[in-house]
Amino acid sequence: MTYQFLRERDSPELEPIDPLKGHYLLREGDEHGDLAAADEMIRAAETVDGDHWNDDDLLHNAHIVRGTIFLRRGDAQAAAGELLVAAESPDTAGRPDVELALALVTAGQDDAVLTYLRAIASRGSSEPD
């Protein structure tokens, strides 16, 4: 099943949104479009209750896209802030965004990256030791 199918099934009142739209626009170099897509992803995730499939991944991806945009603009501190907000998105399936994290390490934002990775890793370690 695709995300769009599940979104339509679970939230027919919402217009379907591709959770990777911002990432696609980043690759195309559409800075204004990808920022708008990230903001749309955040609004979509925040307008439904927490019981809908994958809304938290939508939030996580949106903040990663915003962080990437800010880093491309030269604002490593704002990018690190977006990475930390992405880390706060509950239940992101334990998949960190390594590309932005590595770029932020290169930009000297080690503390934010460690905080992000620890937050994501703690979600993936739900199995008993």
Q: Give tens-digit pLDDT for 48-101.
A: 655 554 666 778 888 998 999 899 999 999 999 999 999 887 655 556 788 999
Q: Report pTM.
A: 0.73
E strands in 16-80: none
Whole-angstrom distance, CA of residue 95 vs CA of residue 120: 7
Q: Which two tokens stand for residue 95?
A: 């998949």
Q: Give tens-digit pLDDT for 15-24.
A: 556 666 666 6
